[in-house]
Amino acid sequence: MGIFKQLACPFCTLDDARIILTNDHAIAIYDGFPISPGHRLIIPKRHVASFFEATREEQAALLNLLAEMRERLKSLPTSLSEREENDSPQPPFDKAGSLSVPDGFNIGINDGTAAGQTVMHLHIHLIPRYTDDTCEPRGGIRWIFPDMDISGLS
């Protein structure tokens, strides 16, 4: 059953076209269902469900790749011709089709079904945020509980 689980895992059977960066223990990929332009996932090469099941070496590799992917997104070319010259990864586009450089980021891990994890292979979301992409960004990930009053939080 363990082998079947891994074979059925969408992150254990990735299409090479989704892979952006790799290191010894982790892979950065395009999110299959992005919630913002440039949304990426950082995943371990080894099939583990939880961040806390990953070895310290794997955790470090994931965080290194997360930082490298953030830097790539922050230093995107500003035009399509510049992108072609630099062979940059697929850049995020805004609603008008223009290239977008993120103004901030949300980083998230859903660890366990109670936390919303639906694919039981550890993955870290790197979600670019843009000025005015929502009417009120204050609170960031605290909005996972929309009915909670966050007015006193920073």
What is the pTM assigned to this prediction?
0.78
* pLDDT tens string 64-75: 999 999 999 998
pLDDT of 86 reads 42
Residue 118's pLDDT is 93
Q: What is the pLDDT of residue 99?
A: 61
Residue ranges covered by each domain of the chain: 2-134
For residue 4, pLDDT over 60 is answered with no
Give me the numbers of helices (H) and strands (E) for the chain, helices first please.
3, 5
CATH of 2-134, one of 3.30.428.10, 3.30.365.10, 3.30.1050.10, 3.30.930.10: 3.30.428.10
- Confidence bin at 89 (pLDDT 50/70/90): very low
